[in-house]
Amino acid sequence: MRRRAILGYGAAGVGAVALMLFVGWWQVDGPGGPEPVGQRPVALTEMDFRLTDHEGNAVGPETLIGRPTMAFFGFTYCPDVCPTTLSDISGWLDDLGDEADEMNVVFITVDPERDTVETMAEYVGYFHPGIRGWTGPEEQIARVADGFRATYERVPTESGDYTMNHTASVFLFAASGRFVTMIDYHEPREFAVPKIRRALAEEMEGAT
Amino acid sequence: MKKYILTSTLAALLTLGGFSAPALAGLEYVVVENAWSRASIGMNRPGAAYMTIRNTGDEPVTLIGLTTPLAMMPEIHETKTNAEGVSSMSPAGEIAIAPGESVALEPGGLHAMLMRLQEPMTEGDTFPLTLLFDDGGEVTVEVPILGIAARGPED
Ligand SMILES: [Cu+2]
């Protein structure tokens, strides 16, 4: 009898610990916790940031609303992923033809220390003319990245310089500002154009 | 070693003779194909070069380093993109290539990272890049410099 009671208490104890662990998980990592990085971007209409485009114009989320948007984070000192993505985007825009003219395409730097307005202007000049370069003060870059749920991090290199780790996905938003989908770097790049077309078409349906 | 020198000389002679064979140099069983790089904006930014390195021999080979007069600090780097879509880049260390296998240096993956450029990389030019192997062998390729927006060796 006694042994059974002890076992019962023991089971209750284990249950209580399990419950505590569950509550802990719920609050920290689970649905009750803060949104982890890597979640869906918020709508452009919910973002709040002030940046400068490569021609010196003041821009913000409202600049993008009214037309579908393709956006990408990077930095001009990136030797690999950024020029590759900007060339990919240029190719997609060529394939889209006239439809590309209906889109906003922005390259937002995560390295404002080196990527001044002039630097951005020179850099985007090497790619499709539809691509705009955006930069701004450090804290505004942090705000735009937060809205997109994009991450970036400055990493020192052996050569005494630094490089930037950053979200390499291309974000697609509808003209309404609603987030539609993204194209990840490891996705087969040839699927991008149909995906962009689908995002554009989805918006047309949404509008009617 | 003698074998490498002989092939290097042969390659040099062929090059002098107007026969430009980027795949022919140094280690006869290491074949480098489709080498290319992008033009740089000035000299402050690092450059990157890409290629396929094929081990056609019967023994494994290990790529241990790079040299080029173009850059003071050329290194093999690897770009990785994690599940959250965040890309990062770091030195890749030594790269072993099994007999009959090849390793692709391509955008978004392994690449020859060219740090501390000694001169700007100009579209239309080429530069020599020497791959160093653990057995003391070397392979030198002439890497063509394409436009900044190039996507592959054929651009
Ligand atoms: Cu690198």
Q: What is the pLDDT of residues B86-120, one digit of tens each?
A: 999 999 999 999 999 999 999 999 999 999 999 99
**Same domain, residue pair A117 and A171:** yes
Residue A118 maps to which CATH number? 3.40.30.10
Q: Is A67 helix (H, G, I), strand (E, B) or coil?
A: coil
Q: What is the pLDDT of residues B2-26, one digit of tens each?
A: 344 434 444 444 444 333 344 444 5
**Same domain, residue pair A145 and A192:** yes
- 3-state DSSP of B29-96: CEEEEEEEEECCCCCCCCEEEEEEEEECCCCCEEEEEEEECCEEEEEEEEEEECCCCEEEEEECCCEE
- Which contiguous run of DSSP H or E holds residue A58? strand A58-59
Q: What is the pLDDT of residues A86-114, one digit of tens each?
A: 999 999 999 999 989 999 999 999 999 99
**Same domain, residue pair A167 and A200:** yes
**Same domain, residue pair A78 and A155:** yes
Q: What is the pLDDT of residues A6-28, one digit of tens each?
A: 445 555 555 555 555 555 555 54
Cα atoms found within 13 Å of the Cα of residue A194, Cβ hemisphere only:
5
Percent of chain B residues topping a pLDDT of 70: 83
**Same domain, residue pair A120 and A199:** yes
In chain A, the residue whose alpha carbon lies closest to the alpha carbon of B105 is A80
Average pLDDT, chain B: 85
Give mean pLDDT, residues B46-53. 96
- pLDDT of residue A129 exceeding 70: yes
Among B45, B150, B151, select the one facing A79 at the smallest CB separation: B45
| Chain A contact probe: residue of B84, B106, B114 with most A CBs at under 10 A | B84
**Same domain, residue pair A106 and A200:** yes
Contact across the interface for B81 and A159, Cβ inside 8 Å:
no
A68 C-alpha vs ligand 1 centroid, how far in Å?
A: 33
| Residues of chain B with C-beta less than 8 angstroms from the C-beta of A163 | 89
**Same domain, residue pair A50 and A29:** no
pLDDT at A175 (0 to 100): 92
**What residues make up the domain containing A184?**
44-206
Among residues B36, B48, B40, the alpha carbon closest in space to that of B119 is found at B40
In chain B, the residue whose alpha carbon lies closest to the alpha carbon of A122 is B41
**Same domain, residue pair A176 and A118:** yes
Contact across the interface for A159 and B73, Cβ inside 8 Å:
yes
**Same domain, residue pair A193 and A146:** yes
Cβ contact A121:A102 at 8 Å: no
**Same domain, residue pair A99 and A117:** yes
**Same domain, residue pair A78 and A21:** no
pTM recorded for the entire structure: 0.80
pLDDT at B116 (0 to 100): 93
How many angstroms separate the CA atoms of B95 and B2, rounded? 24
Domain count for chain A, please give it: 2
Q: What is the pLDDT of residues A69-91, one digit of tens each?
A: 999 999 999 999 999 999 999 99
Q: What is the pLDDT of residues A181-190, one digit of tens each?
A: 999 988 887 8
* Domains of chain B: residue spans and CATH: 30-146 (2.60.40.1890)
